[in-house]
Structure 1
Amino acid sequence: VGEINSLLPQRGGDQIRHVIREIDDRLSGFVRGQAIVCLLLGAWYATGLSLIGLNYGLAVGLGAGLLSIIPFVGNIVGLATSLAIALTQFDGWLNPALVVAVFASGNFLEGNFVTPKIVGDRVGLHPVWLLFAVMAGSTMLGVTGALLAVPVAATVGVIVRFVVQKYRESELFSDTAATEGAPGKAEADHNTASAKTCVDSGPANDG
């Protein structure tokens, strides 16, 4: 940290440090939020599989939740393992179907509610932008892209907000706002002058 500070310019160094600290906070929030999501998923899977009566259901569910730190991996590995156990343990298709339902519901809740809310709040991203980032990352780079999408989007968001803030504080923004307000001001001045002329000419006409 000291070496990084020594490399920062004297002018504007505090602003750069502020941006770096905010990025660090967002990334730390992502890690904490993702850990909470994994715990919730592990509890959901473990509870569902245990209620079905699956052998090793508790361990498989918790393991699937832990692996969910990597997008799609926890769900796929957990589902495949649970189905393999269910097909050898139970007769018929009811219990294997229930296993599929447990993981399908967990995946739905995680993707549409849990991750957007918990992780999105901690990284400062709207749930819609969070889902868009994950979808775009997974489309371009697969699992790696989905894993990196949220941290990258959070970092970009911090930088964009900083740039917008500096722009609003700049003379360029002030000049633009003043220019846009000029026609309205000119019209108001014209109306005021016209009204004054009418008032001044009133007594003269009466005379």
Structure 2
Amino acid sequence: MTFTPTQIRAAAWTTIAVVSWLLLTLLAPVLMPFLLAAVIAYVLHPWVERMRARRVPRWLGAGLAISLLMLVMLAVVLLIVPVITKQAPLLRDQVPALLERLNDWVVPFAGRFGVDAQVDVTVVREGLKSLVSGHESELIEGLLSSLRIGGSALAAVVGNLFLMPIVAFYLLLDWNNLVQRSKGLIPPRWRESVQSFLDETDEVLGQYLRGQLVVMGLLAVIYTVLLVLVGLDLALPIGVFTGLAVFVPYLGFGLGLVLALLAALLQFQTLLGVGLVFGVYMLGQAFESMYLTPRLLGERIGLHPIAVIFALLAFGHLFGFVGVLIALPASAVLLVAIRRARNEYLKSELYLDEAPAEPSPPLALPPSTNGGEA
């Protein structure tokens, strides 16, 4: 049995795809920090090139870019620490008082219907005391035990945190050469179309990242200022965190809203204070959805809100939290591929080919005028 050249090429590419998928599946834990480092290098590469154009050595520009990114990530983490450290004592001291006030309203209301309903504040108070204070030794012992059990996983996480910036640094040093060598592996007959696809993808991702950074900065300022005007003590950390967390659509906004409402409930202990904070977040969300995102991102990516939700759920299910982070950029790349596939389909014979026309009936000869003789 002989195979045609087309069948041989198809079998070869299928084999390459299957082997690549198996390798990615088996080496996923090892490849993850390298893939994240490649994403970091891709994002920071334009900054390094701009510094290079100003005669800054590439190694210095790469080091400065990565150091700045690490400082931003550290600042975000440090913003959350005051929120957590302040909320824990407030939970222990003020939640029982809030529950007693809730009992003062619930018990008479439920008594009208013959129902004895009330919250046992004593049990809640003792539970919060045991959770927040009084059992530090047990908590430390349990933490050390879990660290011993999952020591390899912890070492892997810590190792990846140190590994990613190092790998990203070396990728930035040799980024242009790596890109050229990768393009050299593309078959010559495909290089023009692949280069066009990469250029369009790079443009879409660049517009998305630049617009998203501007949106994050503006929202961080807006939420902080509005929460300060409301009088929230933790306005700065919560406002900045909310603005930066909107990089993860819906999830970041929701987490910031929960933190702000909890802080408002524990500080103000009134519906008015909680309502004002809630109004700040609704105003910020409306401003982002109706003005910032359409104005700064607009239709450049072209993802419908339903497509955004589906992408977040699908990528989160497949790749976990990292999938949620890369859902929109990856969806933008897929959208470019889908657009190009649609254009090719509209130009293909499969779409343009029409049904064969029915043969026209033969022309009838005019009747003879000389008695039937030609």
In 2, distance between residues paired with 1:91 and 1:125?
41
Q: 1:36 aligns to what? A: 214
Q: CA deviation at 1:94?
A: 1.0
Q: CA deviation at 1:142?
A: 5.6
Q: Counterparts in 2 of 1:17-166, with a 5 A limit?
A: 17-72=195-250, 74-107=252-285, 110=288, 115=293, 118-119=296-297, 121-138=299-316, 143-166=321-344
In 1, distance between residues paired with 2:249 and 2:319?
12
The counterpart of 2:352, out of the listed 167, 171, 177, is 177
From the CA coordinates, give the structure whose radius of gyration is larger: 2
Q: Secondary structure at the match of 1:159?
A: helix
Range that drifts further, 92-101 or 134-143: 134-143
Amino acid at match of 1:166: E
* Pair 1:78–1:129, CA change in 2 (3 A): closer
Unmatched 5+ stretches in structure 1: none
Amino acid at match of 1:79: L
Contact 1:60 1:82 in 2 (8 A): yes
Superimposed CA distance per residue, residues 53-98 of structure 1 (whole angstroms, 9 cap, x where no aligned partner): 2235245313320122234454344334434543454352311222
In 1, distance between residues paired with 2:190 and 2:255?
49
Q: CA deviation at 1:37?
A: 2.7
Structure 1 moving runs of 4+ over 6 Å: none
Range that drifts further, 59-68 or 22-31: 59-68
Amino acid at match of 2:245: L
The counterpart of 1:5, out of the listed 173, 178, 183, is 183
* Pair 1:138–1:115, CA change in 2 (3 A): farther
Q: CA deviation at 1:118?
A: 4.6
Contact 2:217 2:243 in 1 (8 A): yes
In 2, distance between residues paired with 1:142 and 1:112?
29
More helix by share: 1
In 1, distance between residues paired with 2:343 and 2:299?
21
More relative contact order in 1 or in 2 (CA 8 Å, sep 6+)? 1
Q: Secondary structure at the match of 1:166?
A: helix
**TM-score normalised by L of structure 1:** 0.70
* Pair 1:130–1:103, CA change in 2 (3 A): same
* Pair 1:123–1:82, CA change in 2 (3 A): same
RMSD (Å) for aligned C-alpha atoms = 3.5
**TM-score normalised by L of structure 2:** 0.42
Superimposed CA distance per residue, residues 88-126 of structure 1 (whole angstroms, 9 cap, x where no aligned partner): 543523112221232245346646875477546232434
Q: CA deviation at 1:134?
A: 3.2
Unmatched 5+ stretches in structure 2: 1-178
In 2, distance between residues paired with 1:42 and 1:15?
41
Q: Secondary structure at the match of 1:45?
A: helix
* Pair 1:79–1:127, CA change in 2 (3 A): closer
Contact 2:346 2:352 in 1 (8 A): no
Q: CA deviation at 1:52?
A: 1.2
* Pair 1:4–1:164, CA change in 2 (3 A): same
